[in-house]
Amino acid sequence: MVAERTVPKFDRSSIKITKEEGLMLYEDMVLGRLFEDKCAEMYYRGRMFGFVHLYNGQEAVSTGVIRALRRDEDFVSSTYRDHVHALSAGVPAREVMAELFGKATGCSKGRGGSMHMFSAEHNLLGGYAFVAEGIPVAMGAAFQSKYRREALKDNNADQVTTCFFGDGASNNGQFFECLNMSALWKLPIIYVVENNKWAIGMAHDRATSQPEIYKKASVFDMEGYEVDGMDVLAVRDVAQKAIARARAGEGPTLIEALTYRFRGHSLADPDELRSEKEKEFWASKDPIKKLAKDLTNMGLVVSEELKAIEEKVQAIVNDAVEFAENSPEPDPDELRRYVFAED
């Protein structure tokens, strides 16, 4: 096991959060967790197929960033590990589950699957299955906001785009090319690297000469933050700063969230390379338990309230499965639909 990085200090006395916000964050993270647990169950029961990449352990990143955005106005772009980003962005659990079941009611009409969640309604730019290819597309959405503001003089065009990807993707040229262009043109975009230490079986430190990814921002003359990705309040704090900067036209930010996936790379991964010690270390930092503790210590909630949320979310997830089960398959007569804009 490679020595763990020390997470940056986060001044907890500065936290300003209401009970409602605390519960909202908690519910979003629990939804992510229970949804993914249900996916594992359904995959092993033969209800969903293909490569399914779960997000367990990383919930604080999705929730901390996406729930700080303006829902349905700001943009979110993801990778193949996209179910939970979709949920945080507001895509109903029913539609995400139905997509995993390949049903016509799925958010991508059963054409996309686990790695291709899309929703124009919720400004979810997608699920991209090739590592790093979503980065330029997200930059395009950010360029569009800038274009409307600067070239078309639309003062309402202050949307922010968030772009999620992994430590492995940060070694790809598209990452560097886009940092350069975003900083050059001061685009309203936030790059969120979810550094979970592994790219399938490639340990991050074996793949990169400078493992501290946030430092790469400085080369492009742009802001870079390192944050404890297991602490939703810390993530939310840096996200809010980055969002404010982007909205104000001050340009892009790179956030490196130090996190960990609690399951294998995908449900097909035997997960043999990661040490038990490493897994235990990170399991002890479970972001959902941490938020529960924080909210309780701050005197904002009592355990019954959290329990009630967990029950409510479990019902949502169960309902999503029922909806997906009962939804129709796509119509075979529509096999060729959606190739072109007119279909």
Partner 1 sequence: MAETLMFNALREATDEEMARDNTVFVLGEDVGHYGGSYKVTKGLYEKYGEFRVLDTPIAENSFSGLAVGAAMTGLRPIIEGMNMGFLLLAFNQIANNAGMLRYTSGGNFKIPMVIRGPGGVGRQLGAEHSQRLEAYFHAVPGLKIVACSTAYNAKGLLKAAIRDENPVLFFEHVLLYNLKDDLPEEEYILPLDKAEVVRKGKDVTVLTYSRMRHHCTQAAKNLEKQGYDPEIIDLISLKPFDMETIRESVKKTHRVIIVEECMKTGGIGAELVALVSEQLFDELDAPVVRLSSQDIPTPYNGKLEALTIVQPQQIVEAIHKVVDSQI
Ligand X SMILES: Cc1ncc(C[n+]2csc(CCOP(=O)(O)OP(=O)(O)O)c2C)c(N)n1
Binding residues for Mg ion, rule: CB under 5 A, are 166-167, 196, 199
Distance CA 340, CA 220 (A): 38
The label of the residue with tokens 């043109």 reads 185
**Does residue 156 belong to the site contacting partner 1 (CB under 8 A)?**
no
- The helix or strand, by DSSP H or E, that contains position 191, with its residue range, turns out to be strand 189-195
Q: Which of 9, 13, 151, 280 binds partner 1 (CB under 8 A)?
A: 151
Smallest gap from residue 161 Cβ to Mg ion (A) = 21
Instruction: In the chain, count H helices and then E strands.
Output: 12, 8
**Does residue 129 belong to the site contacting ligand X (CB under 6 A)?**
yes
DSSP 8-state assignment for residue 119: B
**Does residue 238 belong to the site contacting ligand X (CB under 6 A)?**
no
- CA angle 193/197/201 to nearest 5° reads 120
Smallest gap from residue 195 Cβ to ligand X (A) = 7
134 phi and psi angles, rounded to 5 deg: -75, -20
Q: List the single partner that 169 binds among Mg ion, ligand X, partner 1, none, CB under 5 to 8 Å by kind.
A: ligand X
Smallest gap from residue 332 Cβ to ligand X (A) = 29
Which tokens go with 68? 């700080």
Smallest gap from residue 167 Cβ to partner 1 (A) = 19
- Closest to ligand X by CB, 200 vs 298, is 200
- The helix or strand, by DSSP H or E, that contains position 224, with its residue range, turns out to be strand 223-228
Stretch 182-221 residues interacting with partner 1 (CB under 8 A): 184
Distance CA 289, CA 285 (A): 8
**Does residue 146 belong to the site contacting partner 1 (CB under 8 A)?**
yes
Q: What pairs with residue 75 in β-bridges?
A: 161
Stretch 68-97 residues interacting with partner 1 (CB under 8 A): 75, 77
Q: List the single partner that 81 binds among partner 1, Mg ion, ligand X, none, CB under 5 to 8 Å by kind.
A: ligand X
Q: Which of 143, 220, 225, 260 binds partner 1 (CB under 8 A)?
A: 143
Q: List the single partner that 144 binds among Mg ion, ligand X, partner 1, none, CB under 5 to 8 Å by kind.
A: partner 1
177 phi and psi angles, rounded to 5 deg: -60, -40
- Output Rg (C-alpha) for the chain, integer angstroms: 19
**Does residue 198 belong to the site contacting ligand X (CB under 6 A)?**
yes
Q: Which of 157, 200, 203, 298 binds ligand X (CB under 6 A)?
A: 200
Smallest gap from residue 132 Cβ to Mg ion (A) = 12
Comparing every residue's Cβ against Mg ion, the nearest one is 166
Which tokens go with 110? 């059963």
- The count of other CB atoms within 10 Å of the CB of residue 13 is 5
80 phi and psi angles, rounded to 5 deg: -75, -15
**Does residue 285 belong to the site contacting ligand X (CB under 6 A)?**
no
Smallest gap from residue 182 Cβ to partner 1 (A) = 10
Q: Which of 79, 108, 170, 253 binds partner 1 (CB under 8 A)?
A: 108
Distance CA 309, CA 164 (A): 27
**Does residue 174 belong to the site contacting partner 1 (CB under 8 A)?**
yes
| CA quadruple 36, 199, 69, 13: dihedral sign | positive
Contact status, residue 238 vs residue 226, Cβ threshold 8 Å: no
Smallest gap from residue 308 Cβ to Mg ion (A) = 34
Which tokens go with 304? 């019954």
- Closest to ligand X by CB, 257 vs 306, is 257
Look at residues 213, 232, 262 and name the one whose alpha carbon lies nearest to residue 65: 232
Look at residues 119, 166, 164 and name the one whose alpha carbon lies nearest to residue 138: 164
List residues near partner 1 by CB under 8 A: 75, 77, 106-112, 116, 118-120, 125-126, 128-130, 133, 135-147, 150-152, 173-174, 177-178, 180-181, 184, 337-343
Query: Interface residues with ligand X (CB under 6 A)?
Result: 81, 129-131, 165-169, 196, 198-200, 265
